Amino acid sequence: MTILNNADQQDLALAVDLLEHPSFAAKVTNLIGGPVERAITLLPDGLSEKLLSSTQKALSKALDLAVSSLDERYRGEPANGAHRVLTTVSGAIGGALGLMALTVELPISTTLMLRSIADIARSEGEPITDVHAKLACLEVFAMGGTSQADDGAETGYFAVRAALAGAMTEAAKHLTQHGLTGTGAPAIVRFLSKIASRYSIQVSEKAVAQAIPLLGAAGGATINLLFMDHFQNMARGHFIVRRLERAHGKEPVRDAYRQLAARN
């Protein structure tokens, strides 16, 4: 078994902390002054279904656009600050226009976040022009959200990856054979649907904050900043793990991850 050195152990400990202790829902609760789960039940009838559909469309549109514009040769630090600013601006506009503008604003913020995720992936050594790396970027949107419908076996980081593994393999095979022009194919749709079902949880939490009239543009900007910060943290943890898996193998890294997670 490969033994991780001290630097790798520290990186893995950071990844465990980021991936196993997401704080987006807690921050939304602080923003709105009450439990987010209760507030979600107050959203207009039918909005949850509409948000699920919108998240899947947003993920589909963002898939190639966000990743293809990055230069794989660059290995500097990701431009997290610039992505936060752009997402904050889009959130301010959406917040000023009200809750129903969310379906218009969501594809913009999702694309910006996916580009930031891909930027972080590249900084951790991912070959982001590779199909598997592109899908790993989308995988981030399925992380860090839980609902009452989740059971305990589906909420951990590796459990989420396992739940997506089959659909991800099919999607990668299709994209390798047919390219990104075939994003409407069943294999791609299944993969995006699985991600959207979890991503929509955070989108609903975002909608709760934007539904409060008094928050307006400031609330929309704040919630998008929290939204971006959350997925940047998920991306950092995810791609640290993938980097260590490439260096040491999957099983040693997963064993070490589980040991660290059990201590927390």
Give dist(CA 91, CA 228) in Å, integer.
10
Which SS3 state, helix, strand or coil, does residue 228 take?
A: helix
Is 152 a residue whose pLDDT tops 50?
no
Q: Please report which residue ranges of 21-130 form alpha helices under DSSP H.
A: 24-32, 36-40, 47-68, 80-97, 102-123
Candidates 200, 186, 74, 82; CA nearest to 149 is: 200
Q: For residue range 69-126, what is the model confidence (pLDDT) as tens digits?
A: 655 555 556 655 555 555 555 555 555 455 566 677 788 888 888 888 988 998 999 9
Contact 154, 163 (CB under 8 A): yes
Q: For residue range 171-190, what is the model confidence (pLDDT) as tens digits?
A: 999 888 887 665 568 888 89
Predicted model pTM: 0.82
Q: For residue range 66-82, what is the model confidence (pLDDT) as tens digits?
A: 556 655 555 556 655 55
